[in-house]
Structure 1
Amino acid sequence: MSQSGAVVIVEDDMDDRIFLSQVFKEINMEREVLWFSSTSEAFEFLKTTSRYIFLIFSDIQLPAESGLEFKQKIDANPRLRRKSIPFVFYSTSASQRDVDDAYTKMTIQGFFQKLGDYDETKMLMKTVFDYWDICKHPNKQ
C-alpha cells in the first residue's frame, strides 16, 4: 500500500498524543503525523496547504472550538469540501447526541470512542488506516 499523504490529528491532550504516537509506531504507520492542539491552527493549515492530506482525526472536546464546529467550518469552505479529506472523530466524549449531530449535520466518515486498552486501540487504528488505504475517494492520490 502507498504511504503517501499526511495525517492531521487535532488533539490537545499530551498523554493521548504520546499514546497514539506509540500505537502508530507499533502498527508501522509510516505516514507523517501533523499534530494540532486547536481547531483554529488545524483549519488555517488545511486552508493554506497544498499537501496531500490522507486523513483527519479530531477530538470532540477541544478548547475554544469543538471538533463538531471544526468539521462544520471545513464543510462550509468550498476548497476544503472539494478536497474530500476523510474526517474521523476520535474522542473520549461519544454521547449519542454528538454521534447523531456528527452524522446528520455534517459529512464525516467515522466516529470512534477512545479506548483505554492499548491492544484494542492498535487494532482500531490499523483497521482505520487499512480501510482508507484501499478505499476509493476523490482525495486519493
Structure 2
Amino acid sequence: MNKNGPVIIIEDDLDDQLLLEVVFQKLGYPNKVVYFLDGQQALDYLNKTEEVPFLILSDINMPKLDGFALRDKIHMDAQLKVKCIPYLFFSTAVSQQMVIDAYSLSVQGFFVKQVSMDELEKSITVIMEYWKRCVAPNNF
C-alpha cells in the first residue's frame, strides 16, 4: 500500500464525483484523486500505471464492468493483488446480499454514500485516517 499514492474513485454519477471532489479538497489530503466512470477504465489504468494507488473507492452499479466484477478481476490478478490496494465499496445501493457478496470477494470495507456533505466528509475522513494508519505487507 502506497500511502502517498492516488485515491482511485470509480463513480459513474458526475454529481457524486463533484461532491467527492469538494470533500477531498476541503479535507486537504495530499493524495491525488483520480476518477473513472466505469470499472473497465479503472482496470485499464491499474494495469498500465506504474503508480501504486493508496486505495480504491468503488461504486457497485456501473456500466461496462461493475464494482463486483472489477474487484474480482483485481483479486485474481497476481500483479495487482501484490500491490495491496485497499478496495472499498462506496455505494447508495446496499442490501444484505450485496454486503455478503462484497466480503466474499475480500473487500476491505462497504460504505453507504451519505446524503449530507457533513456526513460525507466524516465518512471520507474515517476511511482516509484508518488506511493512513494501517500497515500492509508491502510496507516493509
Structure 2-normalised TM-score? 0.93
> 2:66 aligns to what?
66
User: How many aligned residue pairs are there?
Assistant: 139
Preserved CA contact (<8 Å) 2:58 2:91: yes
Question: How far did residue 29 of structure 1 move?
Answer: 1.9
Counterpart AA for 1:95? S
Preserved CA contact (<8 Å) 1:54 1:139: no
1:51 equivalent to 2:58? Answer no
Structure 1 segments unaligned to the other structure (5+ residues): none
> 1:100 aligns to what?
100
Structure 1 residue ranges (4+ consecutive) displaced by more than 2 angstroms after TM superposition? 138-141
Residues in 2 aligned to 1:96 and 1:66: alpha-carbon distance in whole angstroms = 18
Structure 2 segments unaligned to the other structure (5+ residues): none
Question: How far did residue 126 of structure 1 move?
Answer: 0.6
Preserved CA contact (<8 Å) 1:5 1:54: yes
Counterpart AA for 1:124? S
Q: Are the structure 2 counterparts of residues 33 and 122 from structure 1 closer, same or farther at C-alpha, using a change threshold of 3 Å?
A: same
Q: Are the structure 2 counterparts of residues 140 and 5 from structure 1 closer, same or farther at C-alpha, using a change threshold of 3 Å?
A: farther
Question: How far did residue 139 of structure 1 move?
Answer: 4.5
Q: How does 1:27-46 map to 2 (within 5 A)?
A: 27-46=27-46
